[in-house]
């Protein structure tokens, strides 16, 4: 009996050792080079599924600026395309997904704020957006939020961006809510509203998604600053530094500029040159 128990114990111990040797944190690929096999691990990345130009699910594929930045960073961490798993990261659930270990990282127009930094860690920023306005291409009457007095402004239900304009720039603006930005764009196309508001690169992505990308234009007068970061679980300092190195390389080798141009093609959009390309912050 004692011999059988000893053998069983050794077998169990060996299994535990092998399991420990096989485990790895995201970024600890063990292959020593870019574009490797990621040590056999899968990297789970949270993205938006419904933001044209940034994070959009198209059948079995995922496209957009955020998605391509995620792919670039993952490659630098040593993960091949077949090791990436993209999952939807709804804005309200992002912190919970990171805290519960549902994702390894999030690229989803995730603005870095002090409140969020209390519960998650951020790498980046990899882009600095600003709240702006989308209007008809032939509308020269709206050049900033102050021009919205007496006009109809659309934003998504629950967003604070339109309220901010009403409180700070145009008290007489009429606010119109829609369940999604695609519905706001449809209202703009029909003339039911005069403008749509959210972050400038999101607006550019919406314009680029039209059959004719010159139908609308981003006013180009941003009035806020939103630093898009890579959401990570707390305590991911080493991984944060690896991601920041990848972001810096992406900017220096010209890929960042190419991706911005690709996903806003035809709209005339230009990223705010005073804020972009950004310099990643030091990791905590």
- pLDDT single digits (tens) 205-229: 999 999 999 999 999 999 999 999 9
Question: Are 115 and 241 part of one and the same domain?
Answer: yes
Say yes or no to pLDDT of 14 above 70. Answer: no
Question: Are 214 and 84 part of one and the same domain?
Answer: no
Position 273 in a domain? no
pLDDT for 159 equals 82
Position 275 in a domain? no
pLDDT for 4 equals 40
- pLDDT single digits (tens) 150-176: 999 999 887 889 999 999 999 999 999
Using 50, 70 and 90 to split pLDDT, how confident is the model at 187? Answer: very high
33 or 186, greater pLDDT = 186
Say yes or no to pLDDT of 194 above 90. Answer: yes
- pLDDT single digits (tens) 80-117: 999 999 999 999 899 999 999 999 999 999 999 999 99
- Total number of domains constituting the chain: 2
Position 2 in a domain? no
- pLDDT single digits (tens) 241-250: 999 999 999 9
Q: What is the DSSP string of 191-255?
A: TS-SEEEEEHHHHHHHHHTSSSTTSEEE-----S-EEEEEEE-TT-HHHHHHHHHHHHHHHHTTH
Question: Are 125 and 138 part of one and the same domain?
Answer: no
Rounded-to-integer distance, Cα 93 and Cα 109, Å? 13
DSSP H or E stretch at residue 39 = none
Question: Are 78 and 206 part of one and the same domain?
Answer: no
Position 25 in a domain? no
Rounded-to-integer distance, Cα 188 and Cα 96, Å? 34
Position 72 in a domain? yes
Task: Give the three-state DSSP class for 278.
Answer: coil
DSSP H or E stretch at residue 265 = none
Say yes or no to pLDDT of 11 above 80. Answer: no
- pLDDT single digits (tens) 24-80: 356 444 444 454 445 569 999 999 999 999 999 999 999 999 999 999 999 999 999
- pLDDT single digits (tens) 128-140: 999 999 999 999 9
The range of the structural domain enclosing residue 122 comes to 39-129+226-263
DSSP H or E stretch at residue 38 = none
Task: Give the three-state DSSP class for 272.
Answer: coil
- CA proximity to 104, closest of 242, 232, 228, 245: 232
- The CATH number of the domain holding residue 113 is 3.40.190.10
Position 160 in a domain? yes
Contact (CB, 8 A) for 232 and 98: yes
131-136 and 195-199 beta bridge pairing? antiparallel
Question: Are 191 and 203 part of one and the same domain?
Answer: yes
Distant-in-sequence contacts of 136-139, Cβ < 8 A, 24+ apart? 136/188, 136/215, 136/216, 136/217, 137/214, 137/215, 137/216, 137/217, 139/194
Name the residue with tokens 């603005």. 111
Name the residue with tokens 């992406």. 250
Question: Are 140 and 124 part of one and the same domain?
Answer: no
């Amino acid at each position: 009996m004692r011999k059988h128990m000893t053998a069983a114990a050794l077998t169990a111990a060996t299994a535990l050792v092998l399991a420990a040797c096989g485990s790895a944190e995201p970024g600890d690929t063990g292959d020593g080079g870019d574009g490797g096999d990621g040590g056999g691990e899968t990297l789970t990345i949270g993205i938006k599924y419904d933001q044209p130009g940034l994070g959009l699910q198209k059948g079995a594929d995922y496209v957009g600026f955020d998605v391509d930045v995620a792919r670039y960073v993952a490659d630098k961490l040593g993960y091949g395309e077949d090791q990436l798993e993209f999952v939807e990261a709804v804005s309200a659930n992002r912190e919970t997904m990171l805290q519960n270990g549902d994702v390894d990282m999030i690229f989803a127009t995730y603005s870095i704020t002090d409140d969020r930094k209390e519960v998650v860690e951020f790498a980046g920023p990899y882009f600095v957006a600003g709240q702006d306005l989308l209007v008809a291409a032939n509308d020269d009457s709206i050049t900033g939020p102050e021009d919205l007095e007496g006009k109809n402004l659309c934003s998504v239900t629950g967003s604070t961006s339109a309220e901010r304009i009403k409180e700070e720039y145009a008290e007489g603006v009429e606010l119109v809510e829609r369940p999604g930005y695609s519905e706001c764009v449809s209202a703009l196309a029909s003339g039911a509203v005069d403008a749509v508001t959210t972050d400038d690169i999101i607006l550019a992505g919406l314009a680029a998604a039209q059959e004719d990308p010159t139908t609308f234009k981003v006013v180009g007068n941003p009035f806020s600053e939103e630093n898009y970061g890579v959401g990570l679980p707390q305590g991911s300092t080493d991984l944060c530094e690896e991601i920041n190195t990848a972001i810096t390389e992406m900017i220096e080798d010209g890929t960042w500029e190419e991706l911005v141009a690709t996903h806003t093609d035809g709209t005339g959009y230009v990223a705010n040159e005073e804020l972009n390309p950004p310099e990643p912050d030091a990791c905590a």
